[in-house]
Structure 1
Amino acid sequence: MPPPPAEPPRIPGAETAENTSPTVAERFRALPRPALIGGAVALVLGGSFLVASLAIDSTIASGTTVLGVDIGGLSPEEARDRLDSELAGQTDEPIQVYIGEVPEDAADPHLIDPADAGLAVDVAATVDQADRPGLLGRIFGGGGGELEPVATVDEEKGRAELEALAEQTGTEHTEGAVSFADGEVVVTEPSSGASLDVDGALERLRESYLSGATDTPLSLPVTAAQPDVDEEEVRRAVEEFAEPAMSGPVTLTADGQDITLTPAMISPYLTMEPDDDGSLEPQLDGEGLAGDDTVRAEVDGVSRAALNARLAVQGGEVVVTADGRSGLEVDTGDLGEKVMPLLTRIGPARTDEATVTETEPELTRENVSELGITEQMSTFTVNFDPAPYRTTNIGRAAELINGSVVKPGERWSFNETVGERTEENGFVEGLIILDDQYQTAQGGGVSAVATTMFNAVFFAGVKPVEYGAHSFYIERYPEGREATVAWGHLDNSFENDSDHTIYISATSNENSVTISFLGTKKYDEVESVTGDRTNVVEPGTREAIEDDCVPQPPLEGFDVTVERVFKIGGEEVKREDFKTRYTPRDEVVCEAGSGDD
């Protein structure tokens, strides 16, 4: 059995009195039954009413305001409607701003539209944070106060608006710089600048907008911009490099000759660029310098092309009439590297050796036989009526062609070798055929050289690549075996398929031009067989009154085929056709113009 409960301890000297008052339970049992039932019902109903009141009443605490607009006692929906209506005028007002400190007179501020800056009040979020004290709060005096509105910021719009303002109002800083023009040093002094601090300004705008103080000018923060290249660095660059660089010419020597480069030549390609530490470092565009026309002229004055040995046929044998000569080529690939160290030197020290390469001629006395130039492959002469323009133009073309060396498999071009027929290239005006009639133009007469070249190619047995006959037939040329050229339109070219090097000899006098091919014959003999004229068309007559009209005799048009026959050991081994269509050469009668007497 469990032990009996212990008696409570007694404090010595203290009296213990027995409690004879009725307990709460005894009193409750002593109440009449109807009273008990009524009290219970009242308690239940009162509690239910209180809970319902607390649950239903969600109105905003009285005295709640947002930017001065009272929303106390309103439901959330009513509060949102009131704020939408009454805040519009306040929150749409332009914000007055100044870049930097607000001036004392506060005149002419910049105005920023809140909407353009991406600023707006979030009415729903603002109402959501308002106090709702309920019934008990009202009973015991619960109230609201000034409620800070919730603002939204569209960062992208706000930044774009402020960046535009920064561009409009900022002052750019100026970097110190040293440049060169016309052989002189040009100095740009550095200066500081200031620009709007976009991030700081965006935050300040948001704060001002939330405070509702849009009618008070707002100071937006600025960021000072200091140049990386300062005055001290500019001064150092000028003294240590720029002034010495432009103090005089520099000289490169090649084979005892001088290439002189003046400051005016160098300055367009010389710069001083800042590095990461703001130090100005010199840079020279060597490629640009080497390509400059004036520099190129200096280099060309020292360089010389290799000259091939000159050959001729004497007594049926190929002989060397003049020895070849080596050439000298100035290498401009390292021109910048050569010139840059000289720019800070003084006097005679501003000189160095140019990089040069000695070039050997393709054809020398020693290698003529090795190249297979052992005999005359072909020769052809065209005669013409003497005329000063013909003598000049034909002689110049022959001069440029003479001595050409064409290796096996290479293509030779009349236009590339002779060049454009211009006054600068040594040609004068003469008669040409254009639009089926004679006219005057630069280089007239060179078709005699083109025809001579075509026939030298024809009888050497090598391969024509591009050629074209005159539009109508010219009596001094062999029909079907003649050619013309036009710069940029028609070339006269051949490929050396003879398996040996070909040397071209070209000579002329006042009434003839001769071109010979020297090499090794691939065929013992090449013959020409000219067919009959077919599809003959009679010419017409035209009158012209142009000042440069050239009279023209009539000649029929026709078709003709020329066969090239290749023989080895007297036997035919191949045959080729060359077909030509000539238009009629109309008679041209030059009439006096209406204004002539």
Structure 2
Amino acid sequence: MRLRVPAAQRNASAPRIASIPPLALAGGGLAVGVGGLYLAGLLLAGGDIDAGTTVRGVNIGGLSRAEAVRKLEERLGSAGSRDLAVTVGDRESTVDPRQAGITFDFEETVDRAVRADDIDPFTVIGGLFRSGGPVQPVVRVDEDKAHAALGKLAKSLDQKVRDGAVTFADGEVDQVAPHNGYALDTDAAVAPLRASFLRGDAGAVTALPARETKPEVTAEELRRAVRDFAQPAMSAPVRLTAADRRFTISPDDLGEYLTMRPDDTGKLTPRLDAKGLRASPAVARNLFGLPAEPRNATLRLVGDRVVAADDARSGVQITDKALGKAVLPLLTKSGTARTGEVAARVTPPEVTDENAARLGLTEKMSSFTVNFEPAPYRTKNIGRAAELINGSVVMPGRTWSFNRTVGERTEANGFVEGIMILNDEFTKAPGGGVSAVATTMFNAMFFAGVKPVEYGAHSFYIERYPEGREATVAWGSLDLKFNNDSGNAIYIQAESTETSVTITFLGTRKYDEIGSVTGPRTNVKQPERKVSTDERCVPQTPLEGFDVTVQRVFVADGREVKREPFRTHYTPRDEIVCE
């Protein structure tokens, strides 16, 4: 028998189940599905990095930060120490990235790869449907180390620009090829060096930026210079005529003194060292013996009349400039066209047997002799000075100079040490004794009647000379000069013996006679006595000092026409005792 329960009672005692619309049922199913996916995403995601994340081919997906850093250090650490191949211009080298301060920052790289700490359902569930993908590694650059390494690299790879050049050796042409100059731009080179490290291409070469300098003498100009000048210059000898000499210069000898230098436009131009070529054995031996200086005719006296010998000759000089001017144009020619003549500088003599009379060299104008005690240094120095003076020709209106004619009294000029007056005392010095020649010249000038220009007497009187009519000279401070105002040329003869020197003026006398009148001594002063311990001390006898005036008397047509005074002051000559 079945028990039936009333509906009202049944509803009151059983749980009540509400009516759920179909959409609600569907939404509930969706909620259950999303929850499952979220849970699955959390379970599958595991680490800090999305699955499929790689760095330079190394998979770090699903790893924690620490795990990913360790894995990258193990797998990529060695790659960061490989040398980087670089070039600067056409030179190659390598750079150690560690020394250049270029390294991987694996921690920063992993930080880039780590997903956000966001566990909202959409992020977690999205992780089920995406892959991390490749991540570029982070590169750190220590700028100071990078610049230091690049500076060191520049020292080995920089190269100076080189111009094209032509040289000559042993009669052959040598060429120096031009090349560009390169200077590494260390500031601009940091970025491409970092990029090369980041790429990590094994065997790749990085061209670093550099400042390029082009040669002024190009390869094209080098080819032109060789073709148009250098090769023709060395092709054959050149043949020259100079004065009465003929000689040949070989390419070997030419090449030693020939160069090519660039001008302002970069064009190679030839240059010949004419001075060096002129002094070279190939040229000098062929020009040896040419008289460089002219020689005047020798004059001698027969009674008081002048006779000229026929021995004058011209001077012939081949100058460096003339040699270069003759040689250089021949170097680009060939065959018989490589023959030329060197212009000679010919200096004719002033006096010849033909023109001596026309110049007025007809008679003795004056002559004077100074005697001296014999001594080797006097003989040497006086003889050398006379040798240099002998044959001097002074044309009308010209000035003659002792120092210019004789030159500095040095060993190289043929003089030796002797006794001379310095600071009012006798002392030893080169050229001692030459004052005897100066005094002789002064008196010859005095009695020839020509005009004195510069002269000076000794500081104290020397007994062997005529008082008030004597002279001394000192190189660089005191000269003996006269001007030839006679109206005709003057020829000076100078000769010496071991005890005398004589100087004679030949020309045309302007006056019948030149006389000398010596006045009395005035302003007389007594000497002192001095003792010297100087190693170079020379004993000295005492002599009073005084003033004196000498009159030069000019006589023409039997009567006196004028007088000229020569005033001289002498200091006392102190007695010097050497101890």
Same fold (TM over 0.5): yes
Q: Secondary structure at the match of 1:500?
A: coil
Aligned Cα root-mean-square deviation (Å): 4.5
Within a 5 Å distance, the mapping from 1:375-524 to structure 2 comes to 375-524=363-512
Corresponding residue of 1:374: 362
Q: Out of 530, 537, 540, which is 2:528 matched to?
A: 540
In 1, Cα distance between the equivalents of 2:235 and 2:415? 44
For the Cα contact (< 8 Å) 1:99–1:222, is it kept in 2? no
Q: Out of 295, 298, 311, which is 1:310 matched to?
A: 298
Cα 1:295/1:493, change in 2 over 3 Å: farther
Cα 1:322/1:385, change in 2 over 3 Å: farther
1:424 Cα deviation from its structure 2 partner = 2.6
Cα 1:316/1:172, change in 2 over 3 Å: closer
1:470 Cα deviation from its structure 2 partner = 1.1
Cα 1:283/1:582, change in 2 over 3 Å: same
Within a 5 Å distance, the mapping from 1:189-338 to structure 2 comes to 189-195=177-183, 222-229=210-217, 252-257=240-245, 270-274=258-262, 280-284=268-272, 286=274, 301-338=289-326
In 1, Cα distance between the equivalents of 2:330 and 2:388? 40
Amino acid at match of 2:327: V
For the Cα contact (< 8 Å) 1:265–1:295, is it kept in 2? no
1:417 Cα deviation from its structure 2 partner = 1.3
Cα 1:304/1:347, change in 2 over 3 Å: farther
Provide the identity percentage: 58
Corresponding residue of 2:160: 172
For the Cα contact (< 8 Å) 1:259–1:302, is it kept in 2? no
1:479 Cα deviation from its structure 2 partner = 0.7
Q: Secondary structure at the match of 2:411?
A: coil
Amino acid at match of 1:566: F
**What 5-or-longer segments of structure 1 have no aligned partner?**
1-97, 111-163, 209-215, 592-597
Amino acid at match of 2:390: N
Cα 1:486/1:256, change in 2 over 3 Å: same
Corresponding residue of 2:578: 590
Q: Secondary structure at the match of 1:395?
A: helix
1:483 Cα deviation from its structure 2 partner = 0.6
User: After the TM superposition, which of the residue ranges 323-332 and 312-321 deviates more from structure 2?
Assistant: 323-332
For the Cα contact (< 8 Å) 1:190–1:231, is it kept in 2? yes
* Deviation sequence 1:522-541 (CA, Å, 0-9, x none): 22221111111122222222
Amino acid at match of 1:434: L
1:381 Cα deviation from its structure 2 partner = 0.8
For the Cα contact (< 8 Å) 1:254–1:302, is it kept in 2? no
Aligned length: 431
User: After the TM superposition, which of the residue ranges 457-466 and 292-301 deviates more from structure 2?
Assistant: 292-301
For the Cα contact (< 8 Å) 1:427–1:443, is it kept in 2? yes
For the Cα contact (< 8 Å) 2:238–2:330, is it kept in 1? yes
For the Cα contact (< 8 Å) 1:389–1:430, is it kept in 2? yes
* Deviation sequence 1:87-106 (CA, Å, 0-9, x none): xxxxxxxxxxx9989x9976
Q: Secondary structure at the match of 2:355?
A: coil
Cα 1:185/1:394, change in 2 over 3 Å: farther
For the Cα contact (< 8 Å) 1:389–1:444, is it kept in 2? yes
1:501 Cα deviation from its structure 2 partner = 1.2
1:488 Cα deviation from its structure 2 partner = 1.7
In 1, Cα distance between the equivalents of 2:252 and 2:423? 49
In 2, Cα distance between the equivalents of 1:265 and 1:474? 60
Corresponding residue of 1:565: 553
User: After the TM superposition, which of the residue ranges 366-375 and 271-280 deviates more from structure 2?
Assistant: 271-280
For the Cα contact (< 8 Å) 1:245–1:344, is it kept in 2? yes
Cα 1:473/1:277, change in 2 over 3 Å: closer
For the Cα contact (< 8 Å) 1:394–1:446, is it kept in 2? yes
User: After the TM superposition, which of the residue ranges 466-475 and 225-234 deviates more from structure 2?
Assistant: 225-234
1:511 Cα deviation from its structure 2 partner = 1.3
Amino acid at match of 2:370: V
* Deviation sequence 1:323-367 (CA, Å, 0-9, x none): 422332325433222122455789999764321244322111222
Q: Secondary structure at the match of 1:334?
A: helix
In 2, Cα distance between the equivalents of 1:483 and 1:181? 60
For the Cα contact (< 8 Å) 1:456–1:516, is it kept in 2? yes
Q: Secondary structure at the match of 2:321?
A: coil
For the Cα contact (< 8 Å) 2:382–2:433, is it kept in 1? yes
1:518 Cα deviation from its structure 2 partner = 1.5
1:430 Cα deviation from its structure 2 partner = 1.9
In 2, Cα distance between the equivalents of 1:358 and 1:548? 49
For the Cα contact (< 8 Å) 1:308–1:363, is it kept in 2? yes
1:283 Cα deviation from its structure 2 partner = 2.5
For the Cα contact (< 8 Å) 2:403–2:475, is it kept in 1? yes
Amino acid at match of 2:304: G
